[in-house]
């Protein structure tokens, strides 16, 4: 049992270890995929905000130019809306810039501090606001400065940010291909692990579990003292086989054997001598039957032999041979001394000779004949 537990523990440890390793790799892969997806989303959000900021300041410049020509109040209201949108967008852009959500992203992409972008935008807004101040003097100069600042923002910040994040997206795309390879490798790796675990489990079940089952079955159907089949084997196996023989009209015989005066022998020499005698008696029965026959310890000093294919005459010959062999055999006690010789009585029932088609009735008939042999003087065969 300890050996079985050890081997079962090894098998379970192998399966558990393979499962844990695969799950760790699976979790790391899923975590990497999660991080890559969120990194891609963050990158796209930053690019979108940069594009929105670019669009807002471009419209601001366009509206300032149109206002300088038409002095339209509606244009000024639209301008204020765009300026507010641009200011909010630049704040969000700087706040969310970079993979860690800090303000180093803009500097990393453009080489300029994030505060510089806000300062340049402020200077740009000052120039475009001046166009809407109402004074015509200097409008062209303000527009010109606004154009230069717009070009500075676009060239030194927005274009660089766009290129930087486009490169990040390319890197993420390549990483996604590598991730796909890892997931595919993990998938087939888990299949291989499951297959190997199944092979190991089958080998284990074949070499250990089946052997254990055979050992358990052998012990369940065997007598612990003599190694003969026991009463359970008679009830669970022999009865079914005998019924099949009856159904096929195949002849067989039941032979009951009992040691004469066994209690007296046991009382005279002790239980150890009695156990030794039972073992020797079982050996005589084994030697007297064929390979196809079965000997069962029916209980105490009573034994039962099933002889397939043997009619009454054949069974009688087998029983007589056993009886003579037992009568003539020396009996050695556990001490090595010579014990009193023993004899045995036999009762036989045969199918179809006795005209009985039920195994239980045949068993009863053989038992009755054994009893008759005992009461009529012992050391004889009744059939």
Which residues, 6+ apart, have CB-to-CB distance to 143 below 8 Å? Answer: 61, 64, 65, 68, 127, 131
In contact, 39 and 98? CB cutoff 8 Å: no
Q: How far apart are the first and last CA of the chain?
A: 46
Partners of 350 in the beta sheet?
Answer: 253
Pick the closest to residue 261 from 351, 159, 374, 154 (CA basis). 374
| Separation of alpha carbons 172 and 20, rounded Å | 29
Active site residues: 301
Instruction: Please give the structure tokens belonging to residue 255.
Output: 């032979």
Helix spans in the chain (H): 2-70, 73-96, 104-110, 114-131, 139-153, 159-204, 210-220, 231-233, 239-247, 262-269, 271-288, 312-328, 359-375
């Amino acid at each position: 049992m300890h050996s079985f537990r050890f081997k079962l523990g090894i098998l379970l440890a192998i399966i558990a270890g393979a499962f844990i390793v695969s799950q760790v790799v699976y979790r790391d892969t899923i975590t990497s995929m999660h991080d890559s997806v969120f990194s891609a989303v963050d990158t796209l959000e930053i690019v979108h905000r940069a594009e929105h900021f670019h669009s807002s300041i471009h419209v601001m410049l366009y509206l300032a130019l149109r206002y300088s020509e038409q002095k339209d109040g509606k244009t000024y209201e639209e301008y204020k809306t765009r300026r507010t949108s641009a200011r909010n967008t630049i704040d969000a852009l700087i706040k969310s810039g970079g993979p860690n959500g800090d303000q180093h992203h803009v500097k990393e992409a453009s080489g300029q501090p994030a505060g510089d972008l806000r300062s340049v935008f402020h200077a740009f807004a000052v120039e475009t606001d001046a166009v809407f101040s109402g004074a015509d003097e200097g409008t062209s100069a303000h527009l010109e400065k606004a154009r230069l600042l717009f070009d500075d923002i676009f060239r030194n910040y927005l274009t660089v940010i766009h290129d930087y994040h486009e490169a990040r997206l390319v890197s993420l795309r390549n990483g996604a291909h590598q991730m796909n390879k890892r997931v595919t490798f993990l998938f087939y790796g888990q299949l291989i692990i499951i297959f190997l675990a199944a092979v190991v489990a089958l080998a284990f079940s074949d070499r250990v579990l089946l052997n254990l089952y055979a050992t358990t079955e052998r012990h369940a159907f065997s007598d612990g003292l003599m190694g003969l089949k026991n009463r359970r084997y008679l009830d669970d196996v022999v009865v079914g086989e005998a019924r099949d023989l009856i159904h096929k009209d195949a002849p067989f015989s039941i032979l009951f054997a009992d040691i004469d005066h066994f209690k007296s022998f046991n009382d005279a020499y002790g239980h150890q001598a009695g156990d030794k005698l039972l073992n020797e008696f079982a050996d005589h029965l084994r030697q007297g039957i064929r390979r196809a026959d079965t000997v069962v310890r029916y209980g105490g000093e009573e034994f039962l032999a099933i002889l397939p294919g043997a009619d009454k005459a054949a069974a009688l010959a087998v029983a007589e041979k056993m009886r003579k062999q037992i009568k003539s055999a020396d009996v050695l006690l556990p001490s090595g001394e010579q014990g009193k010789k023993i004899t045995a009585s036999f009762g036989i029932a045969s199918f179809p000779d006795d005209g009985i088609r039920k195994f239980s009735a045949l068993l009863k008939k053989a038992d009755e004949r054994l009893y008759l042999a005992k009461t009529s003087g012992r050391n004889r065969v009744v059939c």
